[in-house]
Amino acid sequence: MRVAFLGTPAEAVPALEALLGAGHEVVTVVTRPDRRRGRGGRVEPSPVGQVAHRLGLEVVHRLADLDASRATLGVVVAYGALVPAALLERLPMLNVHFSLLPRWRGAAPVARAILAGDEQTGVSIMSLEPTLDTGPVHLARALEVGERTLSELSGELARLGASALLEVLADPALLAHPAPQEGQPTYAEKLTPADFRLTPALGLAQAQRVVRLERAWLEIDAERVHVLAARPASSACAPGQICAPGPVCIGVADGALELSQVRPAGRRAMAGDAWWRGRRSASRAWA
């Protein structure tokens, strides 16, 4: 099958590689434009763009470039922009979406599943429509969320989605007969810095979910401290207080978190107790 592939982040790479490994002809790769990435700020292609260049595939950045494509099908995996109706009329597309639709339509389905405490999520292979994640579903595959971090869960869903995509493409019945979505939709809004903030008002379970997003932070003495790893503390600590020395713990609404690893603003990652010993302030309150 001649495929136009639309994707941008690392989570889209397994599907691109799976298509090529299964013998499909990827005639064009559409990815978001090069931008500054990493701590050095160098302008680099997206993860999909890097792989496509390495494999010698044609890489473009505009959907309009698909007008001249020889593709008979488009495959979309976390491309990062809506595809207009006029293009979908000319080129039907499948979308690999990282949720069990209609739950978590939108931009951040994996993070929202973690924050909501969902026990299960998965992937849906759907026919793309101009509206947001509303298309009929060809195949869905479920996955237990467990205690996985955002990157761990995203990686597993990426691999599961690649496998499900090939299953649909290999089965004429699955490809030809998608089923309408059933159930009450929920929407995975894009996350903001506030979604990653730890506060004393959070319950212990919710605070752990925020840490699993891998961008958690708290504020102490007007300084932002990133929390890279944490676990439930074995000792009590009042909400809004920091308990140290020994294991450094922060008190939340119904328990305490032990800060295993942190990264203060502008510094390297370090153990929580090392950070605490190096502080100049004696304050034990956090917000």
Looking at every residue in the chain, the average pLDDT score rounds to: 95
pLDDT at 260: 96
pLDDT of residue 134: 97
Token couple for 229: 């790893």
**Structure confidence at residue 268 (pLDDT):** 95
So what's the pLDDT on residue 27? 97
pLDDT of residue 118: 98
Q: Which CATH class is domain 2-188?
A: alpha beta
Question: Shortest CA distance to 72 belongs to which of 138, 1, 6?
Answer: 1
Residue with tokens 């008190």: 251
Instruction: Write the CATH number of the domain with boundaries 193-277.
Output: 3.10.25.10
- The CA distance from 26 to 51, in Å, is 13
Residues 81, 93: Cα–Cα separation, whole Å: 14
| Dihedral sign (CA 103, 108, 110, 116) | negative
Q: Please, which contacts does 173-181 make with residues 24 or more away whose CB atoms are closer than 8 Å?
A: 174/138, 174/139, 175/138, 177/138, 178/126, 178/127, 178/135, 178/136, 178/137, 178/138, 179/136, 179/137, 179/138, 180/136, 180/137, 181/101, 181/102, 181/126, 181/134, 181/135, 181/136, 181/137
pLDDT at 39: 62
b/e per residue, 64-77, with b = 16+ CB within 10 A?
eebeebebebbbbb
pLDDT (tens digit per residue) in 173-210: 999 999 999 999 999 999 999 999 999 999 999 999 99
pLDDT value at residue 40: 61
**What is residue 279's predicted lDDT score, i.e. its pLDDT?**
84
The domain locations on the chain are 2-188, 193-277
Q: What is the CA radius of gyration of the chain?
A: 22
Tokens linked to 145: 């969320």
Q: Which of 161, 158, 156 is nearest to 126 (CA)?
A: 161
